Amino acid sequence: MKTIAIVSRKGGAGKTTLAVHLAVAAEIKGKETAIVDLDPQASAAGWGDSRSQETPAVVSAQAARLAKVLETAKSSGADLAIIDTAPHSETAALAAIRAADLILIPCRPAILDLRAIGDTIDLVNLAKKTATVVLNAVPPRGALADEAIEAIKGYGVAVAPVRVGQRAAFVHSLTAGQESDRRTFRPSSV
C-alpha cells in the first residue's frame, strides 16, 4: 500500500478537496483507496458520510492512532491511503508526513498562500522528507500560476507539472458528497 499525505499549514489551501478527489480518481483507476481524516473538523469524513457510494472508505482518526489505522487499511486490502490533515496541528501534520510515500502541499497562487508554504516546508524538512507543491484553484486565465511557480522554486521544492483549476464544481461536490465531473478533474490531469 502506498500512502499520500496532504499537508498545508494554511487553512483553505485545498487539502480536503485534493484528498477526496485524488481518492475518487484512484478508485476510478481500480485502486482500493482509504482516506484517513486527521482533521478534528472531519470535513473529509463528513463528505464520506454524505456520499451514496461506499468507496472510497473514509476513516476519522487521531495522529497517535495513524500507524494503527494505516496498518488496518493495508490488511483490509487498500492499495492507497490518502491522509487529509488539519492546518493548525503540527503533530498531526508531522505524523502524516512521516508515514507518507508522497507528500503533497496544495497551494493557491496568491501571495499570502505562497508566503505561508514556508511553514509547511519546514515541517517536511524536519522529517527529512521531500514534498511536491500542487497549485490549486488556478484561475483559467492570467500569469498567476507561472509567477507562483517561480516563487515556489525559491523554496527548493518540486512543483507538480499539472494544476488544479478554480472551479465552482469543486465547491459543490464537497458540499454534496460527490466528486467533480471527470471533465473537471481527470486523474491524468492531477
Structural element, H or E, at residue 111: helix 111-126
Cβ of residue 14: shortest distance to ligand ATP, in angstroms? 4
Burial class (CB in 10 A: 0-12, 13-18, 19+), 177: middle
99 binds, among Mg ion, ligand ATP, none (CB under 5 to 8 A by kind): none
Check residue 16 for interaction with Mg ion (CB under 5 A): yes
Distance of closest approach, residue 102 Cβ to ligand ATP, in angstroms = 17
CB of 127 to ligand ATP, least distance (A): 20
Helical axes 111-126 vs 90-99, angle rounded to 10°: 60
Closer CB to Mg ion, 10 or 15, in the complex: 15
Distance CA(145)–CA(154), nearest Å, equals 15
Site string for Mg ion, 24-63 (x = CB under 5 A): -------------------x--------------------
The length of the chain is 190
Q: Is there binding between residue 17 and Mg ion (CB under 5 A)?
A: no
Q: How far is the CB of 43 from Mg ion (least distance, A)?
A: 5
Interacting residues with ligand ATP between 150 and 189 (CB under 6 A): 164, 166-167, 170-171, 174
Nearest residue to 14 via CA among 138, 102, 153, 177: 138
Contact flag: residue 87 with ligand ATP (CB under 6 A): yes
The dihedral built from the CA positions of residue 108, 110, 114 and 120, taken in this order, carries a sign that is negative
* Residues at the contact surface with Mg ion, assessed by CB under 5 A: 15-16, 43
